[in-house]
Chain A
Amino acid sequence: MKMELIQPFINAADAVLSQGLKSPMAIDHLSMEEEAYRRKGVAAEIRLTGDIEGRVIFDLAPKTASIVASHFAGTELPESDDLVREAVCELANQVIGNAVATLNDQGFHFRVHPPELHTAEQGPKSTEDTEALVLCFETASGSVYMNIALRYNASLEVKAATGGR
């Protein structure tokens, strides 16, 4: 996965989280996920199709999800509240939407699918052509994980290799 694909997601996460939580955030660590994805708490998945394909998962420990959702809602939400899960989906939607806007303006065209709650404990293992990158953002409310598994669409790669012919 090239950095040109990842940077817009980092920038968007920074913008959305910093604004919503009204405090700065930092990247705590960045790693390639070689094993199967394991959910950490409340997770929302968004699929992308088009010139770039794959999925991005936002994952927060239940307590962090509750604190973050409460910040975004402007009112205290208990961990069990459905709105906490909704908030994580909306957070994912905003970050990915903003990143996609940047990528689209760079000439990539794709469709963003509505967010879905990721309820399975474990996801598929990343493959050679769809390796997963895990970013951990450290915020004042706790760690926010973004698991990105994207690849260029095969037809786009053929187009690039043949010089657009």
Chain B
Amino acid sequence: MEQFAAVKRSKDGQPVQYLIVDDSVFARKNLGRIVESFGGQVAGEAGDGLTAISEYERIKPDIVLMDITMPQMEGIEAAEKIVQKNPDARVVMVSSVGYQENIVAALQRGARHFVQKPVKPEVLYEVIKYVLGEDGAVASAAGAGA
């Protein structure tokens, strides 16, 4: 897999912590590999929206990557509940069901961005940098080490 210049947290130079939410173990592993190629760390995983909410409170990750179609509670509802309680939460929806209505609903309910599956690592990389804004720094540019 292609390696990217590491994106670190600008406040402490530590790896960006991710919570990955998808009902597919395979999709979670794949996303995990991708964010690790960005220098990130998978801090937690969840297979449904309800678990995602409790995992968010436990881990307080820097970024949540959230699928939409999941059992128990779907991703858009879970994103909304997380953001209601944690207005600074950065939730990026990652779904194959990327039609306009879904994208608009996700953004209106608190998601910061939407990435269509199958995930292109270079696209997700740019989205992560955008969503982190000043809270993220590309290691080579910031001199924080790779």
Contact = CB atoms under 8 A, between A and B. Distances in A.
A98 B98 CA distance: 7
B140 interface: no
A158 B15 CA distance: 56
Contacts of B100: 104-105
Given A94-B117, A97-B117, A113-B69, A83 B97 contact: no
Contact of A94 (B1, B25, B118): B118
B118 A112 contact: no
The main secondary structure of chain A at its interface with chain B is helix
A109 B118 CA distance: 22
A20 B69 CA distance: 21
Contact of B99 (A72, A100, A114): A100
Contacts of B23: 114
A96 interface: yes
Given A74-B1, A105-B99, A86 B69 contact: no
Contacts of A115: 24
B96 A93 contact: yes
Interface string B71-114: 10000000000000000000000011111111000000000000
Given A16-B118, A83-B29, A101 B98 contact: yes
Contacts of A20: 118
Interface in A114-133: 114-115
A115 B99 CA distance: 19
Interface string B6-47: 000000000000000001111101100100000000000000
Given A74-B1, A90-B27, A114-B70, A98 B96 contact: yes
Contact of A100 (B25, B71, B97): B97
Interface of B: 1, 23-27, 29-30, 33, 69-71, 95-102, 116-118, 120
6 contacts: A19-B118, A83-B29, A90-B30, A94-B96, A101-B116, A115-B24
Interface of A: 16, 19-20, 69, 72-74, 82-83, 86-87, 89-90, 93-98, 100-102, 104-105, 109, 112-115
Top 7 closest pairs, chain A to chain B, by CB:
A97-B96, A86-B26, A104-B99, A101-B99, A97-B97, A94-B96, A90-B24
